[in-house]
């Protein structure tokens, strides 16, 4: 699957600074990836994965292809966006397409950067954005509720039941993702693509002096501290210079790397690896995916034609220097259709197509 992150926030919170840093670190060879055209408000970056270089050396290939994340800079949100204020309509259409919302919240103090509401108040900013998203979803739900008299099937009844529960909760300020629905109701309302049903990562845009203390903070609310100004500076440096700069700041990883990591955790994603003479590559799947589903990420025809998967853990693959050494030491196994893929599985799929 392709991970898509939508960056939202009020004006002057550092959203554009962060996105511009992402653009500067965007992959150049976009033709290698599923996104053949990169729009001005879309940045595609590689998921950092040191394992690929190790595998490439073992199988003697010059080509390694990491997984990628697609960042979408959602058009500026202002109060009234749900009613079309500012670029509200464009904002809403783009945000429905992403997997996870990255909500940039201003924590930094800078008298030269005017706050849209007059003062830095993170909780107030969060409430303003959530209110606009809730209003947009309520409009969607109202359209479905108006069709209640036409309900005939069990599926349609489940949809209306779910819609009414959501409508009541959203009117109380509760996001759709926090509303308890039955499995039938969840399935029935999924097609509505409610914005507040999407998982959210709150990015605290902090001052440079605050970044070390906050860099390791990830709470149950999926908060992560980033200094957008530092990310912009890192984007101008070479890979070696970036490492040295992060070391000077007392940081192990850049904010972008940590954001990608949290996005994977939030969505329950893992990576499996393929390693051959043509290329080594990381593939993103949902945790719990079975072998045929993983094969289908490579090519949809592989799901129907799946026969078995040849699997070796990354650690054993490296320890025994590739497929042959791992086979000789009994570390390669064949798995069938019910096998649940694990993080870091090095895999070859046997298919009939």
Burial class (CB in 10 A: 0-12, 13-18, 19+), 41: middle
Mean pLDDT across the stretch 318-344? Answer: 97
Residues 115-148: tens digit of each pLDDT: 666 778 899 989 988 998 898 899 899 998 888 8
Mean pLDDT across the stretch 326-339? Answer: 98
Q: Residue for token digits 């940045």? A: 43
Q: What is the Cα–Cα distance from 191 to 79, expressed in whole angstroms?
A: 27
* Rama region for 202: left / alpha / beta (φ>0; ψ in -120 to 50; rest): beta
Ramachandran angles phi, psi of 58, nearest 5°: -65, -45
* Average predicted confidence (pLDDT) for the chain: 87
Residues 220-263: tens digit of each pLDDT: 568 899 999 999 999 999 989 999 999 999 888 999 999 999 99
Residue 83 has pLDDT above 60, yes or no: no
Q: What is the Cα–Cα distance from 270 to 136, expressed in whole angstroms?
A: 32
Q: What is the Cα–Cα distance from 2 to 202, expressed in whole angstroms?
A: 21
Residue 71: how many other CB atoms lie within 10 Å = 25
Mean pLDDT across the stretch 43-70? Answer: 94
Residues 205-218: tens digit of each pLDDT: 999 888 865 555 45
Question: What are the Cα distances from residue 36, in Å, to 76, 83, 187, 313?
Answer: 25, 33, 32, 32
Residues 251-309: tens digit of each pLDDT: 889 999 999 999 999 999 999 999 999 999 999 999 999 999 999 999 999 999 999 99
DSSP structure string for 251-312: -SS-HHHHHHHHHHHHHTEEEEEEE-SS-EEEEEEETT-BHHHHHHHH-THHHHTEEEEEEE
Residue 340: how many other CB atoms lie within 10 Å = 13
pLDDT of residue 117: 66
């Amino acid at each position: 699957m392709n991970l898509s992150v939508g960056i939202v926030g009020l004006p002057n919170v550092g959203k554009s600074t962060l996105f511009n840093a992402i653009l500067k670190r965007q992959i150049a060879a976009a033709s290698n990836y599923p996104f053949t055209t990169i729009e001005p408000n879309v940045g595609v970056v590689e998921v950092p994965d040191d394992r690929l270089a190790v595998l490439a050396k073992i199988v003697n290939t010059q080509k390694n292809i990491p997984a990628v994340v697609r960042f979408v800079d959602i058009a500026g949100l202002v109060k009234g966006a749900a009613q079309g204020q500012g670029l509200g309509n464009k904002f809403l259409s783009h945000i429905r397409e992403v997997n996870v919302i990255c909500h940039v919240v201003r924590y930094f103090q800078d008298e030269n950067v005017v706050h849209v509401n007059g003062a830095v108040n993170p909780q107030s900013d969060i409430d303003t954005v959530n209110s606009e998203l809730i209003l947009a979803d309520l409009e969607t739900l109202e359209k479905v509720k108006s069709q209640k008299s036409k309900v005939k099937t069990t599926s349609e009844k489940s949809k209306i039941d779910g819609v009414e529960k959501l409508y009541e909760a959203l009117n109380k300020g509760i996001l759709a993702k926090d509303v308890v629905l039955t499995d039938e109701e969840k399935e029935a309302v999924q097609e509505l693509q409610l914005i507040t049903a999407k998982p959210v990562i709150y990015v605290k845009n902090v001052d440079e002096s605050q970044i070390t203390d906050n860099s390791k903070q990830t709470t149950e609310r999926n908060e992560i501290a980033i200094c957008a100004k530092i990310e912009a500076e890192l984007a101008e440096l070479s890979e070696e210079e970036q490492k040295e700069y992060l070391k000077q700041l007392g940081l192990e990883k850049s904010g972008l790397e940590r954001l990608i990591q949290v996005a994977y955790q939030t969505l329950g994603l893992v990576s499996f690896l393929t390693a051959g003479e043509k290329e080594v590559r990381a593939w993103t799947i949902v945790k719990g995916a079975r072998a045929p589903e993983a094969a289908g990420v490579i090519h949809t025809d592989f799901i129907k034609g799946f026969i078995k998967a040849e699997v070796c853990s990354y650690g054993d693959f490296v320890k025994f220097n590739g497929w042959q050494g791992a086979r000789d030491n009994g570390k390669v196994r064949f798995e069938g259709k019910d096998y649940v893929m694990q993080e870091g599985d090095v895999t070859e799929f046997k298919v009939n197509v």
